[in-house]
Amino acid sequence: MRIGLLVLLCNAVVFTALLHGLLRADAAFPPPIEKAREVSREVVDADGRLLRAFATSEGLWRLRTTSRDVDPQFVRMLLAYEDQRFYEHRGIDPLALLRAAGQFVSHARIVSGASTLSMQVARLIEPREGRSLLAKVRQIVRAIQIERRLDKAEILDLYLSRAPYGGNLEGVRAASLSYFGKEPKRLSVAEAALLVALPQLPERRRPDRFPKVAEAARERVLTRMAVSTVIGQGEAERAGGEAIPERRLQLPALAPHLSELALRRDPTRQRHETTIRRGVQHALETVARNAAERLGPKLSVAMVMADARTGEIVGEVGSASYFDASRSGWIDMTRQVRSPGSTLKPFIYGLAFEEGLVAQETIVEDRPADFFGYRPRNFDMSYQGDVTVRQALQLSLNVPAVRLLDAVGPTRLTVRLRRADVRLTLPAGEAPGLAIGLGGAGITLRDLVQLYAALANQGAVVRLGDGVERQPEVLAGDPLIAPSAVWNVSDTLAAVLPPRGSRRIGLAYKTGTSYGYRDAWSVGYDGRHVLGVWVGRADNAAIPGLTGYDSAAPILFEAFSKSGIAITPMPKAPPGAVRMAQSELPVGLRRFARTASGLVTATAREPAPLIVYPPEGAHVELGALSGSDIAPLALKLQGGRAPFRWLANGRMLPDTSRRRTTQWTPDGAGYSTLTVIDAAGRAASVRVFVE
């Protein structure tokens, strides 16, 4: 009895020591699971769909895949074919081992294997050089270690991500995208069977090299009794008749410039999310590539499409072809500063509308003019004479635009553009001049789209996101241009005829051509989205005959039409915005011109100025009697010819103004006389009592 107890005790000690040793060994030599989880970095669109993947450090296309990413039918077929008792064993399947051993003894060769999915994962994360008994034992030990550390779902996910499919393809997603051109979420029975069959002999069964061998391997999967039970005999027969894909497709490689930006921002992140929409991106890239081929060698095309309400970039093309060295395709032309040509003209007209200087049907002169030595000329070197403001903007006439810019002031234009967080690039040490209205400044395509987004957004300004990390932002504060003025600009641009060969689709758009035919632009928008197009050479070389209307505008209309984005109607006119016939305009708005002295001329019947607020004899309470700070008094007038000079009690207020509204802060309580004098020397006065 004592001897039996002693033997049991010794066995327990030995077992405990052995178990302790195994646990110590397990802890000292763990399987390289973390390293095995290295996968390709991915850039995905707003809906999580793959835009571009980057190979691993080993040069492999290994896309992270989970059981949720694949067709459930595929998982059932995989387990039925490879490991029927996957959810029951702990890394090794004793029944499968006994079966394989018996077949080996009876046939004197290996008839079938006994590898579980866990053992296969062990082999995948630590590839063996040969098929020896020692290698198999090591694989079994590793499988047990893996089972101790991971649950079944994690083991299955590792297999789905690392199963070999020939060449540098690993994982079900990479194989499905390469052979079928789609994600493995929905696979046909034939496709699923092929993906089950390939990992056993991935190089010998590659369908792009050995389609007959691949077809035979697929047939073996379909005819396996366990698999047939899963899918049904009739379905297996039908699947056997489907063709084998005989070529390997390229993995998605959309938005290359944006993808590179994402990796530079955070090289360690595996999955980079963007605001891009894959369908839009694919359409824009296709249009850009085809357009560049039509236009000629060395030319490139860049595009930016944004949601004007949210500021999200939904499509961005940095060049016609990223890998085309002849077009310097690696340069992202959406971020390069170039001359905008005439594309800033809508903002000049917008300020003029806002100031009340002109209406759409106001007559403006298109004749040779000299602005203190600056002599702008029209693109075609001809002049139209008297034209309406609407015609001048639609025809992109240079002289009328410079006349209006001279009236509103180039500095005021650049300051106003800063409301949209856009700063024009000027020559070092130079102040804004009249030339900026015709392209004498630098701007990027992204910034230009940001400006036009305000036109599509009824004047509200939004800072575009960068598509990756910087979030879009609706900027607080005053609108870029008053909504009524924006409506006048949009109403004018929406009536411009589309370029030759394009159909009218409801866009307001403007074109531009930089000096020397170096840049061609076209920017268009509907009630929601804005798209900007640039055409030119990355080296800034001249391209004879390159124009915004002939080169960039057709691309704009084609890209907008093929983007898949439905056209949003333009918003209705805001209160106070109306297009009036010239005969209905106030006399002062029927013609716009400036004399050599800089004063605005008018017709002989132009009314004299009239102060409409405050009215004659009014008592206005501004806090003067209470001893507190005196509030300013708003002054408003009608008629007259700008600029206006205001006087209070005979003393001139500091500045002249083209506005018909201003403010005056009185010195104290009591009666005051307010006088306004217009450019023609006509005056109007009122007497008010300040309380």
Catalytic residue among 82, 312, 316, 361: 82
φ, ψ dihedrals at 261, nearest 5°: -60, -40
Strand partners, 302: 534
User: Who's near 623: CB < 8 A, 6+ residues apart?
Assistant: 629, 630, 631
Tell how strand 313-317 and strand 591-592 pair up: unpaired
Cβ neighbours for 324, distance < 8 A, ≥ 6 positions apart? none
412 half-sphere exposure, CB direction, 13 A CA radius? 16
Please give the structure tokens belonging to residue 119: 């053992």
Are 93 and 119 in contact by the 8 Å Cβ rule? The answer is: no
The Cα angle at residue 22 between residues 17 and 28, in degrees rounded to 5: 125
Angle (nearest 5°) at CA 511 between 510 and 517: 165
Q: Would you call 663 helix, strand, or coil by DSSP?
A: strand
Q: Which of 115, 178, 259, 342 is catalytic?
A: 342
Look at residue 10 and give its three-state secondary structure: helix
| Helix pair 483-493, 445-456: axis angle to 10 deg | 110
> Residue 342 catalytic?
yes
Please answer whether residues 593 and 365 qualify as being in contact, where contact means their C-beta atoms are separated by less than 8 angstroms. Answer: yes
Contact predicate 331/319, CB 8 Å: yes
Q: Look up residue 686 and give its two tokens.
A: 């009122």
675 secondary structure, DSSP code: E
Rounded Cα gap, residues 278 and 685, in angstroms: 65
Continuous H helices in 232-335: 233-239, 256-265, 278-295
| Cα diameter, the chain | 135
Query: Which DSSP string do the residues of 34-70 spell out, in sequence order?
Result: HHHT---EEEE-TTS-EEEEE--TTS-EE----GGGS
Token pair belonging to 21: 């040793």
- Paired sense of beta strands 50-54 and 41-44, if any: antiparallel
Q: How many CA atoms lie within 13 A of 237 on its CB side?
A: 3
In the residue annotation, 191 being an active-site residue is answered as no
Residues serving a catalytic function are 82, 342
